[in-house]
Structure 1
């Protein structure tokens, strides 16, 4: 296989995490340019590197795309030619497995773990590989909800990316009807591939997952299959605030809502205000890094 190329930029943790989040927001991305970020060493938790892996020599367009992920001053970017090996496998070597509750998420070149719910998700296909703290936090929250006795029969995963959170919810509630959606058409193929890789059945039946392309809840099937007693949305704080009324209409009374993609602090407070107005009450919160993951329940019409 021909050699690939790698772009690298060293920066503080918060800068690299902001760049990863910026990448997740871009719809028209060159998906041959695989992006990952990680700490340089365990004893240097605030020193991170953003890496871009490309199968050909990066041209001005790829360099500009990589640099555009940084706000303000762009760190120094180095470009190096890789050995004559599978460049994608090399890129995934920088994507270690993660544990979140009972879940173990790994790229296909890592083996599954014992005594865990395993998912193999190829790196950097779409947002939601498990590496981002918001996705890992959602997995942890779903596992905690199951442990507290939550029952889910109709599940929606809005902004699914790779399909991972929908797969995880089905693993915990295997007799549920699951519907996943994303605004990016690329995700339909990604979810189908990952479903096959992880033995998840596609389709409308219980224990299976249906995928649609939609902006928020704007799809006939999403409306038809609701109301949901578990809705997951790991997107961004702005869209979460905008979608609060739609989610209020889409979650059944007493149903659960898991929200992520929001920074602790001002973003979290804005989201909390929006969902209080939409008649949700907070149940639990966890934080991974700078990111908050929130669990709400829909108030009954007679509740206060």
Structure 2
């Protein structure tokens, strides 16, 4: 592992936020830090182990928002790890307890999910991840999902949702378009000794159709809408679809409409703060 990280600072007008977020989701899927608004300008920070990533990200951002400003600095990897240790505390969501690797021994148990944060998105602290974990636990407790069934985790990030599904006795496939996230997910699944989960680089078209009892996709509204037909086609009859990464309100309605227009029944909608999850139960 490199001793240095590249800190990429991104500043842009609020009118570009949707497009900038979309580019970051594609090119920095392990996540970014929101530093809020200052003087009418939005400020975000991305950390990367690859110095050349800044130029690549800058070019992609300028395509969608010419007004974007990107600057870089170098920080110690040790500083990043220390910051995570200060921030990442144990978290209870339903029956699950999400803990960092350095506290795993203190919280061992059948519902413990051990996560090595590094730079992959998905520690459970973000509302969208928590909403998906809550939905998984509730569905399992009511018997809507059961051991032995197959799942697909699209945009797996840290692998936390795949790990939770594995804890519930399901087996399946975890996909992400970013190799950094895939490596982190594989490590987390290994640390937890998760069985029956394949994790690899890929997107929805790399998953077999009509193959999964459960599909999880915690991504963003626009790609969820764009991939609605492909995602729906991966479900077995009677399957369940959990979508998140969606802002409550107009975004949630737009995503819901994209899937109900394909014949899915109206979903259960759950919210936490400004974020929403949609749970579809197919016939």
Which TM-score bucket, shorter chain as reference?
Answer: 0.7 to 0.9
Equivalent of 2:100 in 107, 122, 127: 107
Give distance in 2, aligned partners of 1:80 and 1:182: 27
Larger helix proportion of the pair: 2
* Deviation string, structure 1 residues 223-243 (Cα, Å, up to 9, x no partner): 3xx421111111111111122
Alignment TM-score, normalising by the size of structure 2: 0.74
Give distance in 2, aligned partners of 1:296 and 1:106: 29
Equivalent of 1:95 in 87, 93, 96: 87
State the SS of the aligned residue for 2:107: coil
Residue 273 (1) aligns with residue 257 (2)? yes
Return the index of the structure with the highest Cα Rg: 1
Structure 1 unmatched runs, 5+: 40-48, 202-207, 300-304
Which residue pairs with 2:279 in the alignment?
A: 295
Match runs of 1:190-269 below 5 Å: 190-201=184-195, 208-216=196-204, 218-219=205-206, 221-223=207-209, 226-269=210-253
* Deviation string, structure 1 residues 198-250 (Cα, Å, up to 9, x no partner): 1113xxxxxx011232232x12x533xx4211111111111111222222222
Give distance in 2, aligned partners of 1:210 and 1:54: 25
Structure 2 unmatched runs, 5+: 36-42
Give distance in 1, aligned partners of 2:82 and 2:181: 23
Aligned length: 270
**RMSD between superposed Cα atoms in Å:** 4.2
Q: Offset at 1:87? A: 2.3
Equivalent of 2:176 in 164, 173, 182: 182
Match runs of 1:15-164 below 5 Å: 24-27=24-27, 29=28, 37=33, 86-97=78-89, 98-111=91-104, 112-113=106-107, 117-152=111-146, 153-164=149-160
Structure 1 runs of 4+ aligned residues shifted over 4 Å read 2-9, 17-24, 34-39, 49-56, 71-74, 79-82
Alignment TM-score, normalising by the size of structure 1: 0.70
State the SS of the aligned residue for 2:281: strand
State the SS of the aligned residue for 2:101: coil
State the SS of the aligned residue for 1:89: helix
Give distance in 1, aligned partners of 2:151 and 2:177: 18
State the SS of the aligned residue for 1:131: coil
* Deviation string, structure 1 residues 15-72 (Cα, Å, up to 9, x no partner): xx99995685142x5x9xx966589xxxxxxxxx97766899x99x59x97xx8xx99
